[in-house]
Chains A and B, each alone.
Chain A
Amino acid sequence: MAKVELSEETKAGIEEIKEADLLIAVAVPVDAERLRTAVTNAVLAMEQPASSALRTVVVFPGVGGSEAKTNPDTGDTGDQLRIMPYTPPAGDPSRIPWLPPPSTYQALFAMAREFGARACAVIGADLAALESDSLGPLIAPVVEKRCDLAMPLYAMGKFDGLLNSSILAPLTRALYGKRVRFPLAPDFCLSGNVIPQLEIALQRSTAQGQTLFWPATEAAVRDSAICQVHVEARHLQSTDGVDLSTVLAQTVGPLFAEMMTNASIWQRVRGSQAVATSGVAAMPPADGAPADTTPMVETFQLGFRNLQEVWSLVLPPVTLLELKRMARPGSDRFHMPDEVWVRIVYDFALAYRLRTISRAHLLGALTPLYLGWVASYALEVANASAADTEQRLEKLARAYEEGKPYLLSRWRWPDRFNP
């Protein structure tokens, strides 16, 4: 895919406004009135003088869409803040509504470049970041030139964002050596300096058929300065019409694909480094009733009974033996050791690369194993405090790092005997 061309209306809007210091780029369709209120409050709430004095432009997908028809008024909101709709680029819509496709990011970064913005804050998924006053803290480190990419640190309950905690975050950390807690966060802020590089990276990844944009990974492979900011925003994505296996395939698949693209880079990375973190951690949401893990354990056992022929194509015999032990119905307490889970993820990544079986089948066959890990984790942290839960996830992330030599060996010599 070539460079994304901005529509004539969008170009005209940019031409009219001309310049901006800060671009607040909303990536998903939102209600224009609600956006106007939220963004006005968010900009007013910015305490840092460096941020509040910025000429700010807010762009949101609107021209030609239903938002433009229902809310045609897109006028100014003061001298420092302008709101402008843009035409979202045509292309395949993401199968997961809250994850914008790379072409949307291409359009947003093109607009940031045209405006000559010093910083670009991307607001994905919903307006939670604007409505919870998370914008100021997210923008400040970039505007003050403390880092090139500011990623949010959401306050989450111990059973929230499990896919991120179990695969996305620890795998990205082990591969690229940066301890970013939410590598696929919908909200982030970028420095204007790195935007041209990311545009090139996006062109390359869309040309390779990538369906997701990984800001933290792109920054890590370019050795850009990454920082994390504690924010109060909490995204509550609707799960209507999107099942777990689809989300797993649509997020883990692109992560494995990214691994293939960056293989020469992550193979040289050893260990991991903490990234600068600012702000005060918000209170995580209170835990609800005790979690019932029985359905997840049952799905894992059902998977073991039925999917052995698929798993045996991907996993070595020793892992299958471990799974057999875990799937035994008599065991009083279900437990999946971190080492086993890490090897499973690494073996699936390798099978994705080698196309051992169809990739759709491969990622589908990962779902019962993932639910097995979730059940094991839920039982472990059922009575743990938020701090203990973080420690538990840190232990998992270290297991990923310690298991990386296994991944390297399997990646480099996939035909070598692996008992």
Chain B
Amino acid sequence: MWTQVSQSLHESMARVISRIATLLPGILALILAVLFFAAIAWLVAWLVRAFLKAIRIDDRLARGTNAIAEWSPQYTPTILITRVVFWCIVLVGFLVGLEAFGASSDNVLTARLLGYLPNIVGAVVLLLLGNVIARFLSRSVLIGAVNMNLHYARLLSLGVKWLVLVLTAAMVLDHLAIGAAIVDLAFGILFGGIVLAMALAVGLGSRNLVTRSLEREAARPASEGVAEEQFRHF
């Protein structure tokens, strides 16, 4: 009996080792493809950077309040474009490597994973964009609300941030085809909940404020209007 068990174990080990051995050329091809395309990406990025510097794109786009600089103030357009070009080429290399890897294996799981990869890439891009937009809008709302002297400025800012993040999360999950109807339903409930909570919080919070403001307006003597006009900033 032990002989049969030992034989069975040996056979399964041989099968696994032979499977790994058949995958090795594919893995090697993947690594080679990534390295090769990374080298090409580096070269192309260098050329793109040189070209952008030659046409002085940073100076051209720095005029006034250009959109790129407003949304990503710490990176110049040259750096952003160069990085996008670099990572796009590396991604292409990765896809080529994966294709080579898939061709060298007849595994169904590998084929499905390869087909799913574009969804993952799209989801990552959505997540990054959503984060940038959430941060930008949240800060815009915060500064605007403070300048309007709204005491619930932080609440508004947080509300906008979470609205965008929840929307992003729902889009990401939808893109990854996870959850399907449950995500849609949960998103609807969560999004509506946040909006309702904000409306209630702002409405209830400003009830006294509005009352006081109306009372002050009614009781305000004629000379007070002049006092407010006393400061002329320009």
The interface-forming segment of A292-300, A315-323, A399-407 is A292-300
Contact B233 A378 (CB under 8 A): no
Please report the C-alpha to C-alpha distance between residue A163 and residue B233 in the assembled complex, in whole angstroms.
Answer: 5
Q: For A207, A292, A302, A357, which residue has the most chain B Cβ atoms within 10 angstroms?
A: A302
Residues of B within 8 A of A290 (CB): 227
| Shortest beta-carbon distance from A386 to chain B in Å | 15
The residue of chain A having its C-beta at the shortest distance from the C-beta of B149 within the complex is A299
Contact A307 B142 (CB under 8 A): yes
Residues of A within 8 A of B227 (CB): 288-292
Residues of A within 8 A of B140 (CB): 360-361, 364
Residues of A within 8 A of B120 (CB): none
The interface-forming segment of B40-48, B69-77, B96-104, B161-169 is B69-77
Residues of B within 8 A of A292 (CB): 227-228
Name A345-379 residues within 8 Å CB distance of B: 355-361, 364-365, 367-368, 374, 378
Name A260-292 residues within 8 Å CB distance of B: 288-292
**What's the A-B contact tally at a CB cutoff of 8 Å?**
105
B143 within 8 A of A: yes
B6 within 8 A of A: no
Contact A247 B234 (CB under 8 A): yes
Contact A374 B231 (CB under 8 A): yes
Contact A364 B233 (CB under 8 A): no
Given the known A-B contacts A356-B74, A357-B73, are A306 and B146 also in contact in the complex, defined by CB atoms under 8 Å? yes
The interface-forming segment of B19-27, B58-66, B82-90, B197-205 is B58-66
B15 within 8 A of A: no
Interface of B, secondary structure class, is: helix
Residues of B within 8 A of A355 (CB): 69, 73-74
The residue of chain A having its C-beta at the shortest distance from the C-beta of B61 within the complex is A209
A56 within 8 A of B: no
Given the known A-B contacts A302-B149, A361-B143, are A209 and B64 also in contact in the complex, defined by CB atoms under 8 Å? yes
Residues of A within 8 A of B74 (CB): 355-356
Q: How many residues of A contact B (CB 8 A)?
A: 46
Partner of B144, one of A162, A356, A364: A364
The interface bits of chain A over 128-171 (1 if a CB of B lies within 8 angstroms of the residue's CB, else 0) are 00000000000000000000000000000101111110000000
Q: How many residues of B contact A (CB 8 A)?
A: 33
Residues of A within 8 A of B230 (CB): 159, 288-289, 291
Partner of B234, one of A251, A302, A374: A251
Partner of A162, one of B64, B71, B149, B233: B233
B139 within 8 A of A: yes
Residues of B within 8 A of A368 (CB): 146-147
Given the known A-B contacts A160-B232, A161-B232, A244-B233, are A358 and B70 also in contact in the complex, defined by CB atoms under 8 Å? yes
Contact B143 A310 (CB under 8 A): yes
**Chain B residues within CB distance 8 Å of chain A:** 62-65, 69-71, 73-74, 136, 139-140, 142-147, 149, 151, 153-154, 157, 223, 226-234
5 A–B contacts from the bound complex (CB under 8 Å)? A159-B230, A159-B231, A162-B234, A299-B149, A303-B146
**Chain A residues within CB distance 8 Å of chain B:** 157, 159-164, 207-209, 211, 237, 243-245, 247-248, 251, 288-292, 295-296, 298-299, 302-303, 305-307, 310, 355-361, 364-365, 367-368, 374, 378
Closest 10 A/B residue pairs (Cβ) = A209-B63, A209-B64, A355-B73, A364-B143, A160-B232, A245-B147, A358-B70, A289-B227, A163-B233, A367-B147
Apart from A356-B74, A358-B70: 18 A-B pairs, beta carbons within 8 A: A162-B231, A162-B232, A162-B234, A208-B62, A209-B62, A209-B63, A209-B64, A244-B233, A288-B226, A289-B223, A290-B227, A291-B231, A303-B146, A310-B139, A355-B73, A360-B140, A367-B146, A368-B146
